[in-house]
Chains A and B, each alone.
Chain A
Amino acid sequence: MRGRLALDLLMFGLMLAAFAYQLTGNRIHEIVGAAFVALAGSHNLLARRWYATLGHRRLRAATVLNLLLLAAALLLVASGLGNSHDLFPALRGDLFDRRTHALAAYWMLVLGAVHLGMHGPMLAHLCGGDRIAPTIRRAAMLALIGLGACAAIERDLILKLSGAYAFDYWDFSHATAGFFARYVVIAGGLASLVHLARTTLGSTKRGQP
């Protein structure tokens, strides 16, 4: 289980690196993207039981969200290949433009965070977070939600989720850490919001989405 957590953290780190396109340039962006796909493939292989039982389960919100996440991931891969300059130039085509790739990436961030939040109790147990006093844990999550909301507004996340933006800009000459911090709190805030909502609604069971 801790191995899977390490895998997921690495995936999140790669996603952040992929967002920093201006900092890394195109070649490294594509290498990071390929690595992310490889890890995502491993993640899904480890979750093959979920796929095997897909046809036999009721269509709950969690299942729909996971399917949307899968769709966003597939669109991200397809549009990434379709816009590749360096690693897969032979696959460049007109089907998906840069705006589509950006759109899929932002939806991956949001749906990935929701996915994380749905596994809150399991993650808390793996990280030892369930040993922290509930009041402190709750306060920390509320703070993260607030910071995440501010960062989401500053980064114009809603417009980006609507496909309005093909590019993003950050002045890395002044504040590199701030860029990554903002996306960490956006994802963390969203995951915390989902986890708190589920625990408040009383729909979580230990270790299960």
Chain B
Amino acid sequence: MLPRAARALPLEPGKVLTVYYSRTGNTRAVAEHIRELAGGDLAEIKAAHAYPEDYRATTDQAKRELEANLRPALASDVADIGPYGTVFVGFPNWWGTMPMAMFAFLERHDFSGKTIVPFCTHEGSALGRSIADIRALCPKSTIGQGLALRGGSGGYARGAAAGREIDAWVRGLNLASAG
């Protein structure tokens, strides 16, 4: 559990969405903390197919999906992205970018005129090329400054230090004027 945010930002809750994909719960923990700070709604993206329990088998499958440019069916999605002005988009970094379920999500909805703020958990690749990929998928949106937190089994993304990083990052985004 991440420590409670120091103070909330003056955002219009109805216009902010935090959407995330999470396999182990690291990205989910970060998403929940962001939602505490920024307000608004929280939504999880899930692929319709399962990934193996085993970490290596999951990375193997993720690599095959990336090489095949797969767009998996989604078991859970956002009903209507229209009302939101600012969308935090979170994911674990898989092979230098987002899981393919997030590609599917971003392609399904129209993000024109919206601000997308990416965040990810990683094991060395930081944001990788995900910003470029998001920009290519959503050319008419504004991309905010992303955040990358170490995930993996070490649990950094769920700890107090990560909480402070998230606090500082969200405050630094100055979303009240952009949203």
Contact = CB atoms under 8 A, between A and B. Distances in A.
Interface residues of B, number: 16
A99 B95 CA distance: 14
Contacts of A83: 56
A167 B125 contact: yes
A164 B129 contact: no
The SS class assigned to the A binding surface is loop
Contact of A169 (B56, B125, B150): B125
B125 A97 contact: no
Contact of B124 (A97, A160, A171, A173): A160
Contacts of A165: 123-124, 150
A153 interface: no
B59 interface: yes
B126 interface: yes
B96 A22 contact: yes
Given A166-B152, A169-B96, A169-B128, A97 B56 contact: yes
Interface string A164-189: 11111101010000000000000000
B55 interface: yes
Interface in B43-75: 55-56, 59
B56 A98 contact: yes
A173 B129 CA distance: 10
Interface in B118-136: 122-126, 128-129
A169 B59 contact: no
A166 B121 CA distance: 13
B124 A169 contact: yes
A171 B124 CA distance: 13
Contacts of A102: 124
A83 B63 CA distance: 14
B154 interface: yes
Interface in A111-165: 156, 159-160, 164-165
A164 B59 contact: no
A83 B56 CA distance: 9
Contacts of B128: 169
20 contacts: A97-B56, A98-B56, A98-B59, A99-B123, A102-B124, A164-B152, A164-B154, A165-B124, A165-B150, A167-B93, A167-B95, A167-B96, A167-B123, A167-B125, A168-B124, A169-B96, A169-B124, A169-B125, A171-B129, A173-B129
Interface of B: 55-56, 59, 93, 95-96, 122-126, 128-129, 150, 152, 154
- The 7 A-B pairs at the shortest CB distance, nearest first, are namely A165-B124, A169-B125, A167-B124, A166-B123, A169-B128, A167-B125, A168-B124
